[in-house]
Amino acid sequence: MTFTAEAQAVWDKVPEATRAKLLDSGFCAHCLAKKHFDLVEAEIRDRSLALIGKCGSCGHRVVRLIELD
Ligand SMILES: [Zn+2]
Q: What is the pLDDT of residues 33-61, one digit of tens each?
A: 999 999 999 999 999 999 999 999 999 99
Question: 39: CA distance to ligand 1 center in Å?
Answer: 14
CA distance 40 to 52: 6
- Distance, CA 1 to ligand 1 centroid (Å)? 19
With cut-offs at 50, 70 and 90, classify the pLDDT of residue 69.
Answer: confident
Stated pTM of the model: 0.90
State residue 25 phi and psi, 5-degree precision.
-130, 35
Q: Ligand 1 mean position to 56 CA, how many Å?
A: 7
Ligand 1 geometric centre to CA of 20 (Å): 18
How far away, in angstroms, is 25 Cα from ligand 1 center?
Answer: 12
The answer to whether 23 and 37 are in contact (CB under 8 A) is: yes
